[in-house]
Amino acid sequence: MSDIRFYTLFIHCLILSLLFGCSQPPPALQRVLNRGELIVLTRTDPTTYSINESGFVSGFEYDLATLFADKLGVNVRFELPEQFHDILQFTSENKADFAAAGLSVTPERKQILQFTPPYYEVTQQLVYHYRTRRPKSIKYLADSFFEVLAGTSHAENLRRLKKNGSDLSWVEAYNTDVLTLVEMVNNGLLDYTITDSNQFEIFRSRFPELNVAFSISEPEQIAWAFPKSDDHSLYDEAVKFISDLKQTGVLKQLQDKHFGYSKHLNYVGICTFRRHFNSRLQALKPFLHQSAEKYGIDRTLLAAVAYQESHWNRHAVSPTGVRGIMMLTRNTAKQMQIENRLDPQQSIDGGAHYLATRLQKIPARIFEPDRTWMALASYNIGLGHLEDARILTQKQGANPDRWVDVKERLPLLAKKRWYKQTKHGYARGNEAVTYVTNIRQYIDMLKQLELTEAESQNGTETDETFNMQLPAL
């Protein structure tokens, strides 16, 4: 009888243990796979995650997290907390799978969060307006109107500087963002604020009268943040993903896509562009729209190329004989059946036609936006020299189908050691790189200025604004 009771008790215990074992939550990676969705905390910022007026989402962190979700075979949902410091708190409390928000790795944050290996670096920079005397160092910031975003590593570094003896005072602002603080400096409501270096590079085209006084920190590493846990399944998968992107060159390509063009123009260049936008572009828009539609080219791209060529000056003439809005050579104009290069409509038509032929010559296996950047380089330097650079790229073990790799080899075409190995010889390859970089900047500035113009005019048709959206990686 006692044996029967013992056996019954044993069975009950076994069932309870099995039930208890089944109640254990699955690993983090498995939970993501089970729900079919990756939940990511981020913030609205041009460097991380932004949505334009057409609902198009872009940003470095957006692209990076989306690629990770694609690798896992799940969808991705981005959550945007109202306060920056909530990103850190919600991540540590497991309210999302991880944070991808351009977060600096700091000693304070490492106490509550687990960071992946970094994927780029930034410095923190003090931003001021030209009308304000440039402060030479931290000690010149006393008695100033100075705000930074609360909860950021900007505030952490200021507290560290003050602890080390600096006479600093500042306000940590809630319910705002870095862009708003930058606008306040631009409008004279603040003397200074702090941005990350990649943020300011993007903001500067919008605020050409702002500049960087100095950096308040050494370069800081940017990484994804995970909650601290004994369960490393999802974290390990993210670490492997980032490592793979570094090895394949995709990470470098993403960095070029978002940050590879934004620091080239200076104050004078930005102001000149804005002035010509207001005084010259409007008369050319009908011709740009017509030719862009005729040859299947994005009209923002075409307008940017036209500005790079002539600053939208219909009477432009160079010492070498090229002339007109698109600065066509006599031979190119003849090939494109253009009779009068100084006629804006004919010049734009000829330039659009020629650019279309360059795009057609780029191998079909090369995807956007690399396809467009290479076509622009060939528009400037010639298809033969572009192919020489691509061959050098392949010989050096890099990818000849990626602009980020080819643009590093184009300047070699001006060095005898390298151009003597090529079919087409010497070329000023660095000029082609600058050419493409400038056009990318002009595309971005055109989108910003057209959006501002449309918002200021009630009832403006969206079809009248330029809106270039090159396919994402």
CA 312 to chain centre: 27
* Residue 418 contacts residue 280 (beta carbons within 8 Å): no
Neighbour tally for 411: CB within 10 Å: 18
Buried b (16+ CB within 10 A) or exposed e, 92-115: beeebbbbbbbbbbbeebeeebbb
Per the annotation, the verdict on 309 as an active-site residue is yes
Read off the tokens for 450.
């057209």
Strand partners, 114: 226
- Cα dihedral across residues 347, 350, 353, 359: positive or negative: negative
Helix 429-455 to helix 370-381 angle (10° resolution) is 120
Active-site option among 183, 309, 387, 450: 309
Amino acid code (one letter) for 328: L
Q: Report residue 10 as tokens.
A: 């044993």
Three-state DSSP class for 20? helix
Tokens for 288?
């740009």
Q: Find the DSSP H helices in 73-149.
A: 84-92, 107-110
Q: Give the largest CA-CA distance in the chain.
A: 112
Residue 30: closest CA among 75, 72, 78: 72
Alpha helix stretches (DSSP H) within 39-172: 60-72, 84-92, 107-110, 153-163
| Strands 120-122 vs 75-79: parallel, antiparallel or unpaired | unpaired
- Name 94's Cβ contacts closer than 8 Å, sequence gap at least 6: 227, 229
Residue 295: CB atoms within 10 A of its CB come to 17
Residues with a known catalytic role: 309
